[in-house]
Amino acid sequence: MSESISLAEICISSSSKAWKGEGEILATGIGLIPRIAAGLAKLTHNPDLMMTDGETYLISQPAPMGKRDTSNDQVEGYMSYSRVFENLWGGKRHAMVTPTQIDSFGQTNISAIGDYDSPKVQLLGVRGFPGNFINHKNSIFIPNHSVKTFVKGEVDMVSGMGYQNKDLSNGKFEIKLVVTNLGVFDFNGENNNLQLLSLHPGVSIDNVIENTGFDVIIKSDEVTQMPTSDELACIREVLDPQGIRNSIFGE
Amino acid sequence: MDKIVSYQDVIDQLSDGMTIGVGGWGARRKPMSLIREICRSDIKDLTVVSYGGPDVGLLCAHKKIKKLIFGFVSLDMIPLESHFRQARQKNEIDVMELDEGMVQWGLRAAAMNLPFLPTRVGLGTDVLTHNLELEYVTSPYSDAEKLVAMPALNLDIALIHVNKSDEKGNTQIVGPDPFFDELFARAACKTFISSEEVVSTQELGGKDGAIFNRFERSLVTGVLHAPCGAHPTSCAPSYGFDIKHLKEYSEAAKSFDEYSAKYLNKTHQEYIDSVGGAETILNIPLPQF
């Protein structure tokens, strides 16, 4: 544990708190950091979480990053795409995702940038965002916090709904946590404004303000809590022994 | 009863302007040999419903699509589909962009002969802004909630790739995830199957095999024998997706002629030979995440 703690590890530790107290639900971490973070949540504070092998089966231990011998996976259940929809429509899921844009309402975009009829950049399409955000809690991980990701006004194509429409969601809509390369945030400011909870080491409040296209409430300027030695052992030895996590910030 | 058909038989059933549903998911178990055959034909102006992968991309590259009904188009490990992106960015296709679950709901409504199914999904998003044909419905019960009335996605034809079939159209999808192929079959007037293997009914494996029979044979109009017919997409448990080929295909968005000359406008057997032969394909490992 002598090596220094990387930004990726700080983000994983912070992101894993998204699933704190969430109980026996499906944890879906889409992308490198969210996936390791969901695994960390299961190995540390929430062993009841359900997780998939990234394909079709629920497995008892989080699938580590990189190549593995899948015959060692302890399969405990089935989670086809069809069942994922049934599960999420019932609200028993918490996903952490990385939208291309997010706005002050918490609306998210993974569909297209620019004019909708002939987009400047066509992305994936809305995928499951409309259904996810209206049916269950979500958290967000943004590796490149800037005015291009945290946009002024509204996102170009609203894929996931925002707080101004929460009434449409039967009370289910909530963005619990927002973790970026600069700090940790939530949307629990007055009127559901984005608020800063902590800054990663070396990041200033000005860095956050300059890189966010809308007002951020500064609730705290504390430094983000560092991963514990137990968390670091889980990340380094179990969840990502090959160190794939550090590619995200070129560490 | 013999439902075995040729590629030409399937093409003869298609016509300009039809609505075609394509089974599979992203880069998984797509009826690619049938898609390549459509690309070779002079059929045009299709409306395509798909959990999109290279099926959508290839059809875009051949200007076969008038309107795409979709939730995403992706090659999985290559997240963005270059041919689809190009078609969108040049405004070459009309789109009905939906949540993945709304696509399922639309197919399910069609499968149940219903005009629509209600859902909250879509509310509060630009899915409704950009699809003005989507209407609302108010709950007739005391909650009086306003919901989206997801219209039935009725298909003229569904194209589905499976692991096994007999000549009567008793199909089996042996891979662990059948995706939404059953709903595509139920939503369509006619369903054509391409199958890795065509076997006798006896060889389907009786009761043990029957759990892999995801929809009944009365839904199947024709069965085409297409070994490795999903390539370059995967067909679990037989072969994974061909990442090297998908990269080459993806790059080809810049200059399609070279890719086309190498791999397209061929019979299925010629195509399989051009990508290294059946044995090579069957040795592609399944993806791991």
Structural domain including A237 reads 7-48+94-247
Averaged pLDDT, A95-115: 98
Nearest CB among A53, A80, A124 relative to B178 is that of A80
Structural domain includes residue A66: no
Chain-chain contact of A54 with B289 (C-beta, under 8 angstroms): yes
Instruction: Round the average pLDDT of chain B to a whole number and report it.
Output: 97
Residue B144 C-alpha, separation from nearest chain A C-alpha, in angstroms: 12
Q: Which of residues B51 and A69 earns the better pLDDT score?
A: B51
Distance (Å, rounded) from C-alpha A211 to C-alpha A200? Answer: 14
Asked if residues B244 and B75 have their Cβ atoms less than 8 Å apart, the reply is: no
Structural domains counted in chain A: 1
Averaged pLDDT, A36-55: 97
**Which pLDDT score is estimated for B289?**
80
Query: Is B176 within 8 Å of chain A by CB?
Result: yes
Query: Is A159 within 8 Å of chain B by CB?
Result: yes
Residues 6+ apart with CB under 8 A from B267: none
pLDDT digits (tens, 9 = 90+) for A57-91: 999 999 999 988 888 899 999 999 999 999 999 99
Structural domain includes residue A101: yes
Averaged pLDDT, B249-259: 95
pLDDT digits (tens, 9 = 90+) for B211-244: 999 999 999 999 999 999 999 999 999 999 999 9
Structural domain includes residue A232: yes
**Residues of B whose CB is below 8 A from A70:** 288
Query: Is A95 within 8 Å of chain B by CB?
Result: no
Using pLDDT thresholds of 50, 70 and 90, give the confidence band for residue A50.
very high
Distance (Å, rounded) from C-alpha A100 to C-alpha A15? Answer: 18
Structural domain includes residue A144: yes
> What value of ipTM does the predicted structure carry?
0.96
Structural domain includes residue A105: yes
Structural domain includes residue A56: no
Distance (Å, rounded) from C-alpha A183 to C-alpha A143? Answer: 10
Residue B136 pLDDT > 60, yes or no?
Answer: yes
Residue B44 C-alpha, separation from nearest chain A C-alpha, in angstroms: 21
Per-residue three-class SS string for chain B:
CCCECCHHHHHHHCCCCCEEEECCECCECCCHHHHHHHHHCCCCCEEEEEEECHHHHHHHHCCCEEEEEEEEECECCECCCHHHHHHHHCCCCEEEECCHHHHHHHHHHHHCCCCEEEECCCCCCHHHHHCCCCEEEECCCCCCCEEEEEECCCEEEEEEEEEEECCCCCEECCCCCCCCHHHHHHHEEEEEEEEEEECCCHHHCHHHHHCCCCCCHHHCCEEEECCCCCCCCEECCCECCCHHHHHHHHHCCCCHHHHHHHHCCCCHHHHHHHCCCHHHHHCCCCCCC
**Residues of A whose CB is below 8 A from B178:** 80, 82
Residue A251 pLDDT > 80, yes or no?
Answer: yes
Looking at chain B, the whole-number percentage of residues with pLDDT higher than 70 is 100
Query: Is A105 within 8 Å of chain B by CB?
Result: no
Asked if residues A39 and A62 have their Cβ atoms less than 8 Å apart, the reply is: yes
Structural domain includes residue A74: no
Residue A116 pLDDT > 50, yes or no?
Answer: yes
Structural domain includes residue A195: yes
Q: How many CB atoms lie within 10 A of CB A71?
A: 5
Residue B245 pLDDT > 50, yes or no?
Answer: yes
Distance (Å, rounded) from C-alpha B195 to C-alpha B166? Answer: 9
Residue A39 C-alpha, separation from nearest chain B C-alpha, in angstroms: 14
Residue B165 C-alpha, separation from nearest chain A C-alpha, in angstroms: 22
Chain-chain contact of B99 with A122 (C-beta, under 8 angstroms): no
pLDDT digits (tens, 9 = 90+) for B59-96: 999 999 999 999 999 999 999 999 999 999 999 999 99
pLDDT digits (tens, 9 = 90+) for B170-203: 999 999 999 999 999 999 999 999 999 999 999 9
Residue B120 C-alpha, separation from nearest chain A C-alpha, in angstroms: 7
Using pLDDT thresholds of 50, 70 and 90, give the confidence band for residue A141.
very high
CA angle B174, B179, B183 (to 5 degrees): 110
List the 1-60 stretch of A: residues with Cβ below 8 A of B: 53-57
pLDDT digits (tens, 9 = 90+) for A218-246: 999 999 999 999 999 999 999 999 999 99
Averaged pLDDT, A30-57: 97
CATH number at residue A145: 3.40.1080.10
| Closest CA relative to residue B239, chosen from B284, B178, B175 | B284
**Which pLDDT score is estimated for B287?**
86
- HSE-up (13 A, CA, CB side) for residue B118: 9
Residue of chain A whose alpha carbon sits nearest to that of B180 = A82
Residue A1 pLDDT > 80, yes or no?
Answer: no
> Residue holding tokens 């600069």?
A182
